[in-house]
């Protein structure tokens, strides 16, 4: 059996793991809520992925990324999620792009040039507005499961605008809308539009825009709203929640050199 390379992305909400072969081909993926013991979660994801890959060997090398990257005891190296999302998207799309990653606790915009080199990146301010945490708060206020949001937003016939920048203020706004009898579907749609508003405030988003992260993976309506806002399509890579883990696995395989050539 050939060499196996592992990438683990321990995010604020969930842990994602990808195994790739020496050629960068994806062998298996696994995901779990990050929980409180990151090392144990990462190891369970590894075992799940190895079984899914028909009993793949122990990884030859592992790179960890995400907030819990220093907690993965079987990783030899760490990289930031900014590096890994960039590499994961580049591997899939091979073109200049602006990556929008909407995560559980933060948002990132990463610009890659036509060679896959990162030109610039931005992270949201410390505030959780526009992140997955915001949608979790909205779901809580509306007595919904987070997993229900996308279907409800799709059913909305109108959008209820949430003007506040602050998550706490937005929840207060929601209370006011509920008192006035606004439909829940419209409020959810408004929350999705609020997420998109926070994203387009971060960056002009020029060129090809690629959306990644768990929030867009579970809520494709957000991608549609972003595309409508930008007036052009937004690309979703294969398995958008796993692009960080994929980038980490490609780094472990040493494929970053081939995929991100240094300028002459």
Which residues of this protein are in contact with another protein, per CB under 8 A? 67, 77-83, 106, 118, 120-123, 125-126, 251, 256-257, 262-263
> Do 200 and 229 contact (CB within 8 A), yes or no?
yes
Q: Which is nearer to another protein, 181 or 263 (CB)?
A: 263
Q: How far is the CB of 196 from another protein (least distance, A)?
A: 21
Q: How far is the CB of 81 from another protein (least distance, A)?
A: 7
Q: Which is nearer to another protein, 29 or 83 (CB)?
A: 83
Q: How far is the CB of 152 from another protein (least distance, A)?
A: 31
Q: Which is nearer to another protein, 30 or 82 (CB)?
A: 82
Q: How far, in Å, CA of 172 to CA of 179, rounded?
A: 11
Q: How far is the CB of 59 from another protein (least distance, A)?
A: 18
Q: Which is nearer to another protein, 231 or 263 (CB)?
A: 263
Query: Cα–chain-centroid distance for residue 24?
Result: 20
Task: Give 196-256 as a DSSP string.
Answer: HHHHHHH----SSEEEESHHHHH-HHHHHHHHHHHTS-EE--SSGGGHHHHHHHHHHTTTH
Q: Which is nearer to another protein, 121 or 242 (CB)?
A: 121
Tell me which H or E stretch contains 42: helix 38-52
Sheet holding 61-65, edge to edge: 26-33, 14-21, 4-10, 61-65, 77-78
126: Cβ contacts below 8 Å, ≥ 6 apart: none
Question: How crowded is residue 126: how many other Cβ atoms within 10 Å of its Cβ?
Answer: 7
Q: For 230, how many CA atoms within 13 A lie in the half-sphere containing its CB?
A: 25
Q: How far is the CB of 127 from another protein (least distance, A)?
A: 9
Q: How far is the CB of 97 from another protein (least distance, A)?
A: 16
């Amino acid at each position: 059996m050939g060499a196996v390379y592992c990438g683990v992305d321990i995010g604020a909400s969930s842990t994602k793991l990808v195994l790739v072969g020496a050629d960068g081909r994806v062998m298996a993926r696994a995901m779990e809520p990050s929980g409180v013991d990151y090392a144990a979660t990462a190891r369970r994801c590894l075992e799940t992925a190895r079984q899914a890959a028909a009993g793949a060997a122990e990884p030859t090398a592992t790179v960890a990324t995400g907030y819990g990257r220093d907690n993965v005891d079987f990783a030899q190296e760490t990289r930031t999620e900014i590096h890994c999302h960039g590499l994961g998207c580049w591997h899939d799309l091979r073109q200049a792009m602006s990556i929008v990653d909407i995560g559980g606790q933060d948002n990132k915009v990463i610009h890659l040039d036509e060679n896959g080199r990162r030109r610039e990146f931005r992270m949201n301010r410390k505030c959780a507005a526009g992140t997955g945490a915001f949608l979790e708060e909205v779901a809580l206020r509306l007595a919904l499961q987070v997993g229900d949001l996308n279907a409800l937003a799709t059913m909305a016939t109108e959008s209820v605008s949430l003007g506040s920048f602050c998550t706490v203020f937005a929840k207060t706004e929601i209370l006011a809308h509920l008192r006035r009898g606004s439909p829940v579907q419209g409020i959810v749609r408004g929350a999705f539009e609020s997420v998109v508003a926070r994203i387009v405030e971060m960056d002009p988003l020029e060129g090809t825009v690629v959306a990644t992260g768990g929030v867009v993976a579970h809520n494709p309506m957000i991608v549609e709203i972003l595309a409508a806002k930008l007036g052009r399509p937004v690309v979703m890579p294969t398995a958008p929640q796993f692009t960080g883990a994929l980038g980490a696995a490609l780094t472990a395989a040493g494929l970053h050199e081939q995929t991100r050539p240094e300028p002459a």
